[in-house]
Each structure stands twice: as structure tokens, then as C-alpha cells.
Amino acid sequence: MNKYKKVMLIYGGISSEREISIISSKGIYDSLIQNDYEVTKVDADELLEEQINKIKPDVIFNALHGYWGEDGQVQSIIEKTKVPYTHSGVESSRVAMDKSMSGERFINNKILYPTTELIHLNELLSYDGFAYPFVLKPRNDGSSVGVSIIKNSLDKEKYILANSHLKEVLAQEFIKGKEIQVAVIGNQAIGSIEIVPKNEFYDYESKYFDSGGTQHILPPRISKKEKELVEKIALHTHKLLECKGISRSDFILDDESKEFYLLELNTQPGMTPTSLVPEIAKAEGMEFDKLINWILNDASTNR
């Protein structure tokens, strides 16, 4: 039996991941209708609080991604209305989205995290903190938007031109190894998957617009002991940041040290046809409609 009836599905938003949110919302909408909910779709903007008060939903399904949608800002708006909503709350979302802040939290709690420095974009051209190759990424963004492997000074110049809107970026050591993603639902790490991207790493294109070049290997090609360990770390991280609902943690299994390095935790993983949490859930016997229903019924106030 459904806990709620009248659902407000918020999507779109104002971030660079707007397109992904729109794609995610289509599958979520169809599933909610299939699960017999009354659904109102809202392309969220600065009038969101006003729209919530007008529509008066029983619950809000947050299908936003990226800046504003999953960094605590929208969560703060929703909490003013006292309407239950899905996924993590204000503080968990804020910390997870800020890769500098979350990385510090991981390190302080003895979770392996790549050596990272926060630098201003205008200092990048002369930056020599890491030997090539190294990684550059925005401090606050998801879906691997703005993430690049820098192999030489020309790559660095190209990155500056392409990301001139950023004030600061994270420079991070490059770790070569298997890319392993873990899904957590509630208080359980339900499974993991190995990604072999067609590009250099599991970037924005590979995640959402891949025509088949990226391999999703499930279960991952790691030992049972390694699988248990990486899923244990993911669940520990989920709890450490006090996340709610679902999360996806992204790891690299270092070819040299054979240790798992946590790259980031996503509080609102994608729900597109190529998204990993639905794929992992399905492998564990939880079909997409059941997953969406679980997420919605898990919604609450004061996340």
C-alpha cells in the first residue's frame, strides 16, 4: 500500500545537469503512474516554494541533479513547506556535493581518498602540484561534468578555456584501476558494478549518452572479499554523511596498491535507462517500478 497519493515530481532545474534531470524524470513519471500515484510534474525554478504551496502535494519526488537541486538549496526550500521529500536532507546533500568538504570528511574518517588540492582557476596555468597525468574537476558538480584527465600543459590550457565560469577547481592525483560503483538503499549496500568506459573514464557522455561502448560488468571482476569490502565502505560512507534513501558511491581499485579509493558519494543518483543504481537493483531482484516506489515511500520531512 502506498504511503502517499498526490506526488509533485520536480525536475529540470538550473544546473549543467538539467538535461539529465529531464531524462531521469521521464522514467520516474511513468513509474509513478504505473504505481497508481497522482503526479504533477514541475520544472523547478526560483518559484518552487510558491508552486509547492499552490499544488499542496502529499510528497515531493526530487529528480533534480547538480547545483541547486542536490546540494542542499532545494532541500532547504522544501523543508520550509513541511512537505515530505525524497533522498537526503540539507546538510548531507551540501557536504556530499562539495567535493572538497566531503573529501576532507572521508580522510578524517580514514576512508582512502585521492590526494587533492583546491586551487583558483586563475592559478591553474602555473600550477605544478602534481606530475602528469592528474585530474581536474569542479568543486561542486555531478555526473562528471567538467572532469578531465590532464596529460600536458595544452590539456591544462584547454580546460581553463572550457571552464572559465568556475572560480576554483580540485586538482587530484590520477589513480589507475578498475572503476567500481556501489548502490546503497536504506541501510543496506545492495550490490556493486564495474564500469569499463569507452572514454578515458566514466565521464558525462559515458554515463548518459553512450550508444553501447561502455561496458557494465555485474558482478564486478573483483574477489568476493574485495566486493564485501567496497560495499562495506560505501555503506559506512552513506551513514557517515547521514544520507537518506539511496546513494551511489564511486571507487577506483588501485592497480598498484590493490586498495579502494573513494572518489565521491552521490545522494541523488541518475534514474535514466543507463543509470547504475537501477541496474544494480534489478540484478538484486528489485525492478525499476519497485525501486521508485521504495524511494517515494521512504520520503519524510527533516531528512
Please state which architecture CATH assigns to domain 6-87: 3-Layer(aba) Sandwich (3.40)
Segments in the chain below pLDDT 50? 143, 202-204, 206-208
| Architecture of domain 95-113+176-291 in this structure | 2-Layer Sandwich (3.30)
Which cell goes with 84?
Answer: 515530505
Q: Which superfamily does CATH assign the domain made up of 116-173 to?
A: ATP-grasp fold, A domain (3.30.1490.20)
What sign does the dihedral 277-240-14-293 (CA atoms) show? Answer: positive
Model confidence, pTM: 0.91
**284: helix, strand or coil:** coil
Strands 38-43 and 6-11: parallel
The two most distant CA atoms of the chain are separated, in Å, by: 60
> Which one, of 145, 2, 6, 17, lies nearest residue 74 by Cα?
17
What are 294's three cell numbers?
A: 521504495
Identify residue 84 by its one-letter amino acid code. Answer: P
In order of 53, 144, 165, 275, 297, the CA distances from 12 in angstroms are: 19, 18, 21, 17, 22
**Structure confidence at residue 17 (pLDDT):** 85
Q: How far separated are the first and last CA of the chain, in Å rounded?
A: 22
Amino acid 226: pLDDT? 98
Cis peptide before 133 (omega within 30 of 0): yes
Concatenated DSSP letters for 127-171? --SSPSSEEEEESS--TTTT-EEE-SHHHHHHHHHHTTT-SEEEE
For residue range 283-302, list pLDDT tens digits in order: 999 999 999 999 999 998 86
Any idea where the domains of the chain sit in the sequence?
A: 6-87, 95-113+176-291, 116-173
* Separation CA 270–CA 265 (nearest Å): 13
Specify the DSSP element, H or E, that contains 123: none
Determine if the peptide bond prior to 114 is cis (ω within 30°).
Answer: no
